[in-house]
Amino acid sequence: MKRLTLFTACCLLLIASHAAAQEFEEFENGLMYDESTMARLEYIVDSLNLMFKQCDPNSSYRSLPQAECHYIRIEGRDARRARSDIENGIQFEELLDKYHNTSVQLNLPIVVNHYDTYRGESSRKFSSMPFESPYFHEIVEEGRRYSFDFNSSNRWIFDYHAPNQYITESLRAFFVVSDFTISPVPRDYAAMIQYVDCMVDTNTTTYLEDPANGYSVEAEVEIERLREFTDRLLTRTATTRNSRDALSTWDMGPKRMERIRAIVTSEPDFKQEIIDVVETALKHGRSSELLELLAEEFHSAEAALELKRSRKVWGQCSMDESPRIHARQIALLSAETARWDVFLRAHLNIMNDRFARMSDGSYAWGRRETYIRELEELNINVPQLILGMVLRIDNPGNNHYFGDIQRLGRALAETKYREEFETHMSRMICDPELDTFNRMLIFYLYKTYADHLNDEDIQKAARQRLKTTMAGLPATLLKGINDDFD
């Protein structure tokens, strides 16, 4: 018990120290990039803004197929019987009469996305947004094993989970009330989507695809030599005669590089060996934190960037900030090498916190800043960019960048363009020409923004303005969200 208490205390101390510390180093300009970097990036942005003004408007964007639905959830032994009834076409009211412990949400907007899995299988995802939060109810149907036929009289979409040692038997289902429809995105909002594609190059991704060199004995031998070199170097620089100065093999701090520089100074041929190793890593798309440090120090910033883009970093827990640190290093190297296409994606990933983690508790979210000011200082049309990232469409360009509502709402609370954003969001929420699903997304963006305002009086006024704006939503939606504002 004593050990458990000590462990808990240590965890709390770690969380508290993280909360108090600044996430990234700031330069004299108060930003995460220095003046010379910002000047280089601003020049590129000016060119892109000019190019966007000369582009013909894209009027072909269309909304996601959408309808109105009711959502249900049944847990326990009733779930299996309800699944059988749904497969046999039971009507919605009949099901509620038969299964009294059913959780129900009425009159939700539902959309469907069609996509191919990494295995090349055609699949689709049905998503509906509950009124109390912007976190979707989702049912995915893969490999054409579809439970819902758009032309059938059976209006159910369902997902059944059999019981096991980890989960309770359950059934989730949508009952589709209306036909699915698609509408064109109005010109003003299409321009926002187009601005995202102009700024965030759709021909580029943050990370490089796995090299397609295929298997060969020569490649395997070279990769094994690469491993042997890095292991040998880590061991060689990890220990000293003074045990207090020992480095663990995973420590990549300044002390590690000092020791590597010392080896290069005393052994002139060793620098060329490092360069050869970096070239091998580039050839085979293999990387590690050590190889990236060696590339940046002894080869080139371009080589270091390519290696960093060859390695995806997973967070091991909520407090593991290594994915964000890695993304910032990519952004810095991209700026240094004038790779705007990579830079903005890396920065937006930091803003949207778009990283993979083994677990992610909400207690860690507060420390992860949004860094919206950096975009504002670059003369990007921030309202156009962020609103364009929020809108969902059926025909996006390849690698179109979609934003996260929770993170972007927080960013809006920190922007200097709050009044402009509120004006845009109010107009979009009330615009009957914009599809219902996107109006709901903008509504939740506004709500998240208001919830993150620090000043209580300012927050109260913003929420009141949103409540007034809500009157422009369809009546069926208002029934579900009014309670949240009472």
Whole-angstrom distance, CA of residue 283 vs CA of residue 223 = 10
At 242 the pLDDT is: 54
Q: Where are the domains of the chain?
A: 31-64+184-206+362-486, 66-176, 207-361
Given this model, what pLDDT does residue 244 score? Answer: 57
CA 94, CA 135: separation in Å to the nearest integer?
28
Half-sphere exposure of 214 (CA within 13 A, CB side): 1
**pLDDT-derived band at 210, boundaries 50, 70, 90:** low
- Is residue 213 pLDDT above 50, yes or no? no
Output 470 or 248, whichever has higher pLDDT: 470
CB 157 within 8 A of CB 112: no
Q: What is the DSSP string of 184-240?
A: BPPHHHHHHHHHHHHHS-TT--SSPPPP-----HHHHHHHHHHHHHHHHHHHHHH--
| Residues 125-135, mean pLDDT to the nearest whole number | 79
Res. 143: pLDDT tops 90: no
pLDDT at residue 94, as a whole number: 97
DSSP 319: T
**Cα 93 from Cα 296, distance rounded (Å):** 65
Which strands, in side-by-side order, build the sheet including 170-176? 137-141, 122-128, 103-116, 66-75, 170-176, 156-161
Instruction: Provide the whole-model pTM.
Output: 0.87
Q: What is the pLDDT of residues 28-78, one digit of tens each?
A: 999 989 999 999 999 999 999 988 888 777 779 999 999 999 999 999 999
What is the rounded distance in angstroms from the CA atom of residue 292 to the CA atom of residue 271?
Answer: 15
- Beta-bridge partner residues of 140: 125
pLDDT band for position 319 (cuts 50, 70, 90) = confident
- Average pLDDT on 449-470 reads 95
Q: What is the pLDDT of residues 79-110, one digit of tens each?
A: 999 999 999 999 999 999 999 999 999 999 99
Per-residue pLDDT band for 6 (boundaries 50, 70, 90) equals: very low
The share of the chain scoring above pLDDT 90, in percent, equals 62
Residues 6+ apart with CB under 8 A from 296: 303, 304, 333
Has residue 214 got a pLDDT over 60? no
- Among 89, 109, 90, residue whose Cα is nearest residue 149: 89
